[in-house]
Amino acid sequence: MVKAVVGANWGDEGKGKITDMLAKEADIIIRFQGGANAGHTIVNDYGKFALHTLPSGVFYSHTTSVIGNGVALNIPMLIQEIETLTGRGVPMPRILVSDRAQIVMPYHILFDQYEEERLGKKSFGSTKSGIAPFYSDKYAKTGFQVSELFDEELLKEKAEKTVEMKNVLLEHLYHKPSIDGKELLATLHSYREMIAPYVCDVSSYLDRALKEKKTILLEGQLGTLKDPDHGIYPMVTSSSTLAAYGAIGAGLPPYEIKEIVTVCKAYSSAVGAGAFVSEIFGEEAEELRRRGGDGGEYGATTGRPRRMGWFDCVASKYGCRLQGTTDVAFTVLDVLGYLDEIPVCVAYEIDGEEITDFPVTAKLEKAKPVLRTLPGWKCDIRGIREYEKLPENCRNYVEFIEKQIGYPITMVSNGPGRDDIIYRKK
């Protein structure tokens, strides 16, 4: 059986913690899209870790961690991540990398930086991890697949062609140093050596695993609003963030995905540019940012302060719908305990009209939040394990949001640790 853990919003909803928690009962955990541009933060018995490429199941010895074909694979970063874990006492995880995954090349990272520089004020706020140039090449059919590393003739030919094409842009568009074919080939050889122990025909491995009734978790990166088709285009990421894409990015039949756990944070945060209707500013935002997450709302990859806002029912309802949510995991609720009153965005006002269906980007830019204020609970709810023991105003907040978004909140997370979770019946 396959379960997906995905985000309803802009990412940073706490998917890492939920995956890490669900991984206890899983056999295989798979990353199916995205790359090292975002990070999951996980707190467990080994300490606090930021994962960028590895799935959140790597801390258990009973699980196999898979990097699916849909991932933007940065090989040196993956190796470094493995070394960081083992260096801090985590047992060497079982890792498989799809032979069909494509490789983030050093020039992808350069092009990402150069393009952001060129765009100046109009830049996307990219993490400069090479993700957009990587996926552009993948779909332009000029990328390097892991399997190709083991075909020397093809590798030589492709390296030459690539250098030719990239150097035109480097010279004439960006006015930057050109790349050298021999150096590129040497890099590819070093990647081959690094990745060889992990390479696997993943879809066939998963086919066997399904026949053996294994439990498989798909771990999404970012959230619905960053999906290139259904998100806030063009301020989106370059691979699909939806559970449905899990079937493609891992190599599974779509009908095997039985549960879709969509993670929603009890307030909003976003990184990068783009419309963010319920955004707050100034001291109000700074306080939420400082108290948020586990040690503040700062990017796990970049350390950048995240943009902050109140919970957005319009965006989250849409985010849950596009994921095909069976369960909502409502996270970081404990953080809101300091507020006397908690505003929630229940609708958007666009040109004098109130809507609750998330609009296309051009309309979204004009949207103003319609806020409803709920009473706070003014206490620390960490450590509570039963839903009924939460303060009444806290339960009212959860139930109000559940009604607004229209999907069942079956898990409430009230702390960063594995055990900080309250289960609710549907």
Least distance CB 148 / ligand GDP (angstroms): 30
Q: Where are the beta strands (DSSP E) in 266-362?
A: 268-270, 279-280, 307-309, 311-312, 327-331, 341-350, 353-355
Distant-in-sequence, close-in-space partners of 312: CB < 8 Å, separation ≥ 6: 9, 268, 277, 278, 345, 369
Per rule CB under 6 A, count of chain residues that contact ligand GDP: 24
Which of the ranges 109-117, 168-176, 241-249, 331-339 carries the binding residues for ligand GDP, by CB under 6 A? Answer: 331-339
Least distance CB 34 / ligand GDP (angstroms): 10
By CB under 6 A, what part of segment 49-78 binds ligand GDP?
none
Give the number of other CB atoms < 10 A from CB of residue 228.
Answer: 15
Q: Is the peptide bond before 234 cis (omega within 30 degrees of 0)?
A: yes
Nearest residue (CB) to ligand GDP, 214 versus 382: 382
By CB under 6 A, what part of segment 298-317 binds ligand GDP?
300
Identify the active-site residue in 20, 40, 230, 294.
Answer: 40
Write out the H or E segment, with its range, that includes residue 221.
strand 216-223
Least distance CB 12 / ligand GDP (angstroms): 4
The dihedral region occupied by 221, where left means phi > 0, alpha psi between -120 and 50, and beta the remainder, is beta
Least distance CB 288 / ligand GDP (angstroms): 12
Residue 89 tokens read as 């006492």
Contact 187, 149 (CB under 8 A): no
The span from the CA of 92 to the CA of 109, in Å, is: 28
Work out whether 272 is an interface residue with ligand GDP (CB under 6 A).
Answer: no
Tell me phi and psi for residue 43, to 5 degrees. -115, 125
Work out whether 414 is an interface residue with ligand GDP (CB under 6 A).
Answer: yes
The span from the CA of 214 to the CA of 19, in Å, is: 16
Least distance CB 11 / ligand GDP (angstroms): 6
By CB under 6 A, what part of segment 10-29 binds ligand GDP?
11-17
Work out whether 334 is an interface residue with ligand GDP (CB under 6 A).
Answer: yes
Least distance CB 151 / ligand GDP (angstroms): 35
Distances (CA, A) of 263 to 267, 295, 334, 343: 12, 19, 15, 20
Which of the ranges 29-37, 81-89, 151-159, 414-422 carries the binding residues for ligand GDP, by CB under 6 A? Answer: 414-422
Contact 409, 330 (CB under 8 A): yes
Which of the ranges 79-87, 178-186, 328-336, 396-404 carries the binding residues for ligand GDP, by CB under 6 A? Answer: 328-336
Among 65, 146, 415, 422, binds ligand GDP (CB under 6 A): 415
Work out whether 335 is an interface residue with ligand GDP (CB under 6 A).
Answer: yes
Query: Counting every residue, how long is the chain?
Result: 426
Q: Is 40 annotated in the active site? A: yes
Q: Is 12 annotated in the active site? A: yes
What residue ranges bind ligand GDP (CB under 6 A)? 7, 11-17, 38, 40-41, 43, 293-294, 300, 331-332, 334-335, 413-416, 420
Q: Where in the sequence numbering do the catalytic residues fall?
A: 12, 40
